């Protein structure tokens, strides 16, 4: 998840039981222009290796070149290259990238076959049920991707126009699974072990992608309900890890800490106090104080 999946958080999720973690989606244009923010997104923590790297863009040549460059630079630190064709936000889809590629299957096809040819790593693609509100084109899209040689597909059962509203249609993943013979990863409304089991048992998919359900709750991968002490300890580990590896992302601990204590008796106090935190020491002092509340 963009803005959420930093390497420290991903390493925590992996330790809790996630089989595979993904980088935030990285702009190939950003990489080409030498943008520091994009390069930082390729930072990989030791404990999470091998990670899935997700790229987005719309130029087949750029995507293929960047995928090849990443493969040669990171080699065994990477499990696969995933191409984002599901992001609905205007900044991305409005430029023909992300979910907008579902509106141009020919271009999507060129991108996927070019990337598949450019690397030896497995290539996967993530997309949605469709673009327009009532689209239902995931099956066609998945078959097209399979023909391009992708190793697996991940599908979110909402259309781009639905954004994150309403319920994700779980049957989309089940139908895609019937339509292709490569592994299918299901995404959409995964907030508990029950949701994970539903996808695995009733939709027959090969894997389940946890997104919003992991924010502040990496324990979803361990199937446990954390104590306050565990929440504090993980929040401290996350804060110290970011301070060490990516200090410019320390301010994101404000939202992470709010998520770690969401639904807890002192959640509102934590949310208020975390806004006054500016340094690693401020965050740690607050987290230690939470233990005394
Ligand atoms: C803040 C945020 C950032 C996201 N960033 C990405 C991303 O970078 N790449 C991606 O494939 N999906 C991204 N997603 C979509 C999720 O991977 C997932 O498909 C979607 O949230 C539906 O699953 P959920 O209902 O279980 O959250 C993002 C979602 C959110 C809420």
Per-residue pLDDT of the chain (293 residues; tens, 9 = 90+): 999 999 999 999 999 999 999 999 999 999 999 999 999 999 999 999 999 999 999 999 999 999 999 999 998 999 999 999 999 999 999 999 999 999 999 999 999 999 999 999 999 999 999 999 999 999 999 999 999 999 999 999 999 999 999 999 999 999 999 999 999 999 999 999 999 999 999 999 999 999 999 999 999 999 999 999 999 999 999 999 999 999 999 999 999 999 999 999 999 999 999 999 999 999 999 999 999 98
Examine the residue annotation and report whether 13 is marked as an active-site residue of this protein: no
Ligand 1 in reach of 212 Cβ (< 6 A): yes
Q: Measure the CA–CA gap between 126 and 104, rounded to whole angstroms.
A: 15
Q: Measure the CA–CA gap between 226 and 260, rounded to whole angstroms.
A: 10
50: preceding bond cis by omega (within 30 degrees): yes
The pLDDT value given to residue 165: 96
The pLDDT value given to residue 267: 96
Distances (CA, A) of 222 to 18, 217, 226: 8, 10, 10
Asked if residue 180 lies in contact with residue 212, where contact means CB atoms within 8 angstroms, the answer is no
Closest Cα to atom 16 of ligand 1: 211
Residue 1 alpha carbon to ligand 1 centre in Å: 5
Closest Cα to atom 30 of ligand 1: 1
Reduce the DSSP state of residue 278 to 3 states and report it: coil
Q: Which of 87, 148, 203, 277 is catalytic?
A: 87
The pLDDT value given to residue 112: 98
Residue 293 alpha carbon to ligand 1 centre in Å: 33
Residue 139 alpha carbon to ligand 1 centre in Å: 20
Ligand 1 in reach of 195 Cβ (< 6 A): no
CA atoms lying within 13 Å on the CB side of residue 260:
28
Q: Measure the CA–CA gap between 70 and 213, rounded to whole angstroms.
A: 29
Q: Measure the CA–CA gap between 159 and 240, rounded to whole angstroms.
A: 38
- Assign domain 7-221 to its CATH architecture: Alpha-Beta Barrel (3.20)
Distances (CA, A) of 19 to 48, 192, 251: 10, 16, 28
Reduce the DSSP state of residue 96 to 3 states and report it: coil
Ligand 1 in reach of 24 Cβ (< 6 A): yes
Residue 188 φ/ψ region, left for φ over 0, alpha for ψ in the -120 to 50 degree band, beta for the rest: left
- Per-residue model confidence as pLDDT tens digits over 139-187: 999 999 999 999 999 999 999 999 999 999 999 999 999 999 999 999 9
The pLDDT value given to residue 152: 98
Ligand 1 in reach of 188 Cβ (< 6 A): yes
Close Cβ partners of 106 (under 8 Å, ≥ 6 residues apart): none
Ligand 1 in reach of 49 Cβ (< 6 A): no
């Amino acid at each position: 998840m963009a803005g959420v999946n930093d390497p420290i958080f991903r390493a925590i999720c992996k330790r809790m039981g996630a089989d595979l973690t993904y980088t935030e989606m990285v702009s190939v244009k950003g990489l080409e222009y030498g943008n520091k923010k994009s390069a930082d997104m390729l930072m990989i923590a030791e404990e999470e290796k091998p990670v899935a790297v997700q790229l987005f863009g719309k130029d087949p040549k750029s995507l293929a070149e960047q995928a090849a460059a990443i493969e040669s630079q990171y080699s065994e630190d990477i499990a696969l290259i995933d191409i984002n064709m599901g992001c609905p936000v205007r900044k991305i889809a409005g430029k023909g990238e992300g979910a907008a590629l579902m509106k141009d299957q020919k271009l999507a096809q060129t991108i996927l076959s070019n990337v598949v040819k450019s690397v030896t790593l497995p290539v996967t693609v993530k997309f949605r049920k469709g673009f327009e509100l009532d689209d239902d084109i995931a099956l066609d899209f998945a078959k097209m991707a399979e023909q391009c040689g992708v190793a697996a597909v991940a599908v979110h059962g909402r259309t781009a126009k639905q954004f994150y509203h309403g319920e994700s249609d779980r049957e989309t993943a089940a139908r895609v699974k019937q339509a292709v013979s490569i592994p299918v990863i299901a995404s959409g409304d995964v907030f508990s072990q029950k949701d994970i089991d539903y996808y695995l048992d009733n939709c027959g998919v090969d894997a389940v992608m946890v997104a919003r359900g992991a924010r502040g709750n990496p324990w979803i991968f361990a199937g446990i309900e954390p104590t306050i002490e565990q929440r504090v300890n993980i929040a401290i580990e996350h804060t110290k890890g970011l301070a060490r590896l990516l200090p410019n992302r320390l301010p994101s601990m404000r939202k992470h800490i709010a998520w770690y204590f969401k639904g807890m008796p002192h959640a509102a106090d934590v949310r208020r106090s975390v806004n006054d935190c500016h340094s690693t020491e401020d965050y740690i002092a607050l987290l230690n104080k939470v233990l005394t509340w």
